Structure 1
Amino acid sequence: MLYDLARPLLFSLDAETAHELAIASLNLAGRALPTCSTDASDPVEVMGLRFPNRVGLAAGLDKNGEAIDGLARLGFGFIEIGTVTPRPQPGNPRPRLFRLPEVKGIINRMGFNNHGVDAMVANIRAAKFKGVLGVNIGKNLTTPLENAFDDYRLCLEKVYPLASYVTINVSSPNTKNLRQLQGGSELDDLLGRLKAEQQRLADQHGRYVPLTLKIAPDLDAAQIIEIADALRRHRIDGVIATNTTVSREKVQGLRYAEQQGGLSGAPVFEASTAVVAQLAQALAGELPIIAAGGITDGRCARAKLEVGAALVQLYSGLIYRGPGLIGECIRATTEAPAT
């Protein structure tokens, strides 16, 4: 109800300004209010981690880990922060974030704007949150694609002691050529080297931190099978499906539809869910799927589990529905069929 009152004010602001206000407010709430426990009425174990519930926050909302404690108060079963890069970078020029309210959609071309991995590490250390925390890592814009591993390795090394799991983001459409890392020899090389680095860090720190791969919805059946094979071959611990889409099929004719960037929210639900279903068939339960993309109500969250996901993540739906969406999705995914 409070969000229903605040939304007109937030929507009267530029989309990125409203986002910055929301992060600042959550940061303040996290500092000023006492911590509260997450509802653990339906815990589930995935990737060797215990999740109080199946509903998490997707990467992108809190890129720097500035509002972890405030976000933790909203009831998420897990929180994923990032995408973070080794060095700070401003991202693409503004405006770079656009609402499509007619279809509950968002277009962004942020470009991995973040304060760098050292700033994120400081924020995580300062947070009181003790739940499941994922960290989403990427490469700097100026790093050549052939040197991408160096950026992922550096980020993995720095966040490893503090993360519950780490996500390898190779699917953002807003960093030039990044999606090339999703296929063929590029993906095989990257996953193989990062898996070796994971084992080295596990030995060094005496704890195993799972690795997940985040993929795009704009993949054909052959590409999905190829990715599934690579995930199994390199013993990656999980996969997040999906990131934003470059397709505009569902938003043709709408204001901002021709803006460059990734489209998220309700328009990506069908494509994203289809990728989850195809991945589930290809993987045959060998590793878990975390489903993100177009979840705007409890029915959507449930649908992701029914086609094979173990967990779900929210982001764009929160912009239109507010924190009430979290509880609705938790209720809808409680006592879900095993996947």
Structure 2
Amino acid sequence: MRHDPTAISPKNRQHWAMSLLLLALLGAFLLSLFVGSVRIPLDEILRILLGGAAERETWTTIVLKFRLPKAVTAVLAGSALSVSGLQMQTMFRNPLAGPFVLGINSGASLGVALVVLAVGTGSTLLAGLGLLSDFGIVVAASLGAGLVLFLVLAVARRVETMTLLILGLMFGYATSALVSVLLYFSIAERIQAYIAWTFGSFGGVTWRQMQVMAPAVLLGLIIAWLSAKPLNALLLGETYAQSLGLSVRRARFTVLVSASLMAGAITAFCGPIGFVGVAVPHLCRSLFSTSNHRLLIPATILLGGIVALLADLLAQLPGSQTTLPLNAVTALIGAPVVTWVILRQRNLRSSFAG
């Protein structure tokens, strides 16, 4: 069989795909700074980013205080949720597993519900302490997510992987039930505030809050990258991984810390963002035709950021003053991908091996 010298090798094809994702991320990032209710020329945006003085002072304020932190938040959120989803799908060998499979988002929702849905004198006290502010909601969500994370990690070393999955689902159901009870007994204004949080948003994170969220996400991504080799070993099952000398319990604990740290941080600051963590890993596997996590993790970081930026742009409905709920847009993007995964069930096994 003759070799075609013009054929592109799989390795070169992957390099090209990674380069295109990087350019697409840069383009989506600049587009997110350009699109908005106030039209700002692209050259003025670039001048502002480079530290120059814009033609109008208000343009500088809009770009640096509103659009730039929202774009950075979208990239961090999309990357974190996508990588944590990839980790969960590999560890549980379940193509429909997502970053919130352990009940992290339910714990965060319970924390927010306990603060926002408080009634009577408790509500007055919380308002007086400033706990009904945006930062108070972040603290409440962080504590709720952290509580569930602590429970999950406490049992992680004592149970098998599938048992841990079931326990995570039970934690989620239990906290969701408590939230439902709080909703039933709350007043309309509090319910509306809670529902607004559940819609999800990248626009509520300030630069001050970014100093907490960004390090947490970056630490989670670093741990995820360091766990790429153990994740590759887990692709063929825990028994095979143990035969290679891998400590499965230690690898599982590391993956849980990484995924929970990223999912918990994003949920606390942005609300429960659905579907991104489930859909993006599958798109990356199809795009690169590989299950190697040393390639999938950076690819998922890039594509996750792109998807989150595009979802935020669609939510703004360019050309109008209306803003759609972010979770509605991510569901419209992610649901077709998940449906496609289900329809390809006969090929699911091969997508997690080889």
Q: Shared fold (TM-score greater than 0.5)? A: no
Q: Which has the higher helix share?
A: 2
Q: Which has the higher strand share?
A: 1
TM-score (norm 1): 0.28
Q: Which is higher, the Rg of structure 1 or of structure 2?
A: 2
TM-score (norm 2): 0.27
